[in-house]
Amino acid sequence: MTVSFRRLATDGKARTGVISTPRGEIRTPAFMPVGTAATVKAMLPENVRATGADILLGNTYHLMLRPTAERIARLGGLHRFMNWERPILTDSGGFQVMSLTALRKLTEEGVRFKSHIDGSSHHLTPERSMEIQRLLGSDIVMAFDECTPFPADEKTARKSMELSMRWAQRSRDAFGDRPGHALFGIQQGSVFPDQRAESAEKLRAIDFDGYAVGGLAVGEGQKMMFDVLDYAPNMLPEEKPRYLMGVGKPDDIVGAVERGIDMMDCVLPSRSGRTGQAFTRRGVVNLRNARHADDPRPLDEECGCPACRSYSRGYLHHVIRAQEIIGSMLLTWHNLHYYQELMQGLRDAIAAEALAAFVRDFHATRAEGDIDIL
């Protein structure tokens, strides 16, 4: 069985559909929670599934260093290792090598770097990245690329994009023929439309199972990101899934889906949950704030997650302030639940050709802000 993508409906540029894999279906637009070190922090896998997630993201960089891809392979692969039998997408490791390691050297061959954990030396290349992702057993494998830093002038961006396109071909060659597994290429080109077009053309010639819009959510801000998303996804084949890496806040996600993106991932809902930040229909609520200390009301009375069903704002405030583990658990659950409900709302709205009304309502409810203080 191969990995395939079926579009079920479109509304403007937005699409809803299903990616079929041997490990299950992924409803799109899809949000992928991030399981950096073979765990979505503070959540059991069955609870992540209960929020509505069809697929998780795993990080090649973190897993190759600890516990190593070879050890995970010996223990039955990443799905069995972390007790998640549904689809997993792994990144290529390139982005985190560049963002997390101090000592690194970029050459045509790949990137040499020292581990941020123990200082050990490693060499990540397109071939090694494909090998690691194969050992992990990833269902959707990402090509190894250089995420062009922002800002980059035209010449620097071009040099980086061209290197990534050569690495894309090497990734394709090293990936080989693996039925049931997909390889996605990554478009680069920074904020330059001609470079984005050239990158898309090169990737199409190599032929991938899906395509990511890379090099965004790296500090350019929402306006500039949307400017690029106004044209970049259209350059990629419309019959293949399009993935926007590392995005984002709820309003980033809504804007990306409006512009034709099918998949996203971000640490924000899980990371923010651990610091007391909740994403709600009415915007961000900071439960550390003293205004919640005596509040017996739920975080969001319309939310069906355990944090909102069974606990008060006063309790959530207390466990977050006291740094109790259950505070991270409840708020991570709530945030992932909110994100997945948002995705379901987007999918339903696209299917009903009512996305514009959904987006208007989304922004209007947020503009009202949090419920008044008691």
Binding site annotation covers 147?
Answer: no
Residues 200-259 close enough to bind Zn ion by CB under 5 A? none
State the DSSP H helix or E strand holding residue 277, giving kind and residue range, or none if neither: strand 277-280
Binding site annotation covers 92?
Answer: yes
Q: Note if 91 is an active site residue.
A: yes
Binding site annotation covers 305?
Answer: yes
* Residue with smaller CB distance to Zn ion, 307 or 319: 307
Strands 263-266 and 242-244 come out as parallel
Q: How far is the CB of 155 from Zn ion (least distance, A)?
A: 48
Binding site annotation covers 283?
Answer: no
Q: CB-based contacts of 359: which residues, under 8 Å, 6+ apart?
A: 254, 258, 349
* Residue with smaller CB distance to Zn ion, 157 or 303: 303
Strands 24-28 and 14-21 come out as antiparallel
* Residue with smaller CB distance to Zn ion, 95 or 279: 279
Paired residues of 17 in beta bridges: 7, 28
Number of amino acids touching Zn ion (CB under 5 A): 5
Residues 316-355 close enough to bind Zn ion by CB under 5 A? 334
The verdict on 43 binding Zn ion (CB under 5 A) reads: no
Q: Residue 104 carries which side chain, given as an amino acid letter?
A: R
Q: Note if 361 is an active site residue.
A: no
Residues 255-314 close enough to bind Zn ion by CB under 5 A? 303, 305, 307-308
Catalytic residue among 139, 209, 265, 300: 265
Q: Residue 328 carries which side chain, given as an amino acid letter?
A: S
Q: How far is the CB of 280 from Zn ion (least distance, A)?
A: 8
* Cβ neighbour number for residue 291 with a 10 Å cutoff: 15
Q: Give the DSSP per-residue string, 294-360.
A: T--S-S-TT--SHHHHH--HHHHHHHHHTT-HHHHHHHHHHHHHHHHHHHHHHHHHHHTT-HHHHHH
User: What is d(CA 283, CA 313) in angstroms, rounded to the nearest whole number?
Assistant: 15
Q: How far is the CB of 335 from Zn ion (least distance, A)?
A: 8
Q: How far is the CB of 300 from Zn ion (least distance, A)?
A: 5
Binding site annotation covers 95?
Answer: yes
Q: How far is the CB of 249 from Zn ion (least distance, A)?
A: 17
Binding site annotation covers 93?
Answer: yes
3-state secondary structure of 255: helix
Burial (Cβ within 10 Å: 0-12, 13-18, ≥19) of residue 165: buried
Binding annotation: 91-95, 145, 188, 215, 303, 305, 308, 334
Interface residues with Zn ion (CB under 5 A)? 303, 305, 307-308, 334
Residue numbers belonging to the annotated binding site for substrate? 91-95, 145, 188, 215
* Binding-site positions for Zn(2+): 303, 305, 308, 334
Give the active site residues.
91, 265
